[in-house]
Amino acid sequence: MLTITQALYDQIVAHARKDHPDEACGVVAGPAGSDRPERFIAMLNAAMSPTFYEFDSGDLLKLYRELDDRGEEPVVIYHSHTATEAYPSRTDISYANEPGAHYVLVSTADTDGLGDFQFRSFRIVDGVVTEEEVRVVETY
């Protein structure tokens, strides 16, 4: 289960809406080994595409160095889908290389008739996708 604060949830959704119609992407870092998302880090979608996201390799290297220096790890890796449901694509699955991370997808398309976005979380390990419950809390 992903437990995330309302403030972080809102930041992820706001980023997805702001970058629409392109896909948004980013990370929520937390203390290494804690499984606790704490620090929101919006990243630039280097692909600038409505159907694909890609972290800039230089930005990603800088991010991982910073995480290392701070004793953090990527707890949540998120991106948006602008025209499809919030479910990992084949490409998303192939690029998922953090087995301990929660992969959050926000869809900015009303694909289910339930509103203008979906927020879902998945574990992706060795190509296997498992959806998990999302619990939004005011504070930890």
The pTM (predicted TM-score) of the whole model is 0.94
Per-residue pLDDT at 40 exceeds 90:
yes
Question: Could you tell me the CATH superfamily of domain 2-137?
Answer: Cytidine Deaminase, domain 2 (3.40.140.10)
More confident: 112 or 54: 54
Per-residue pLDDT at 111 exceeds 90:
no
User: Measured between alpha carbons, how far is 36 from 24 in angstroms, rounded to an integer?
Assistant: 22
- pLDDT digit string (tens) for 118-133? 999 999 999 999 999 9
Residue 136 in tokens: 């939004």
**Residue of 32, 19, 138, 21 lying closest to 84 (CA atoms):** 21
Residue 92 in tokens: 């998303």
User: Measured between alpha carbons, how far is 140 from 137 in angstroms, rounded to an integer?
Assistant: 7
Stretch 86-102: mean pLDDT, rounded?
95
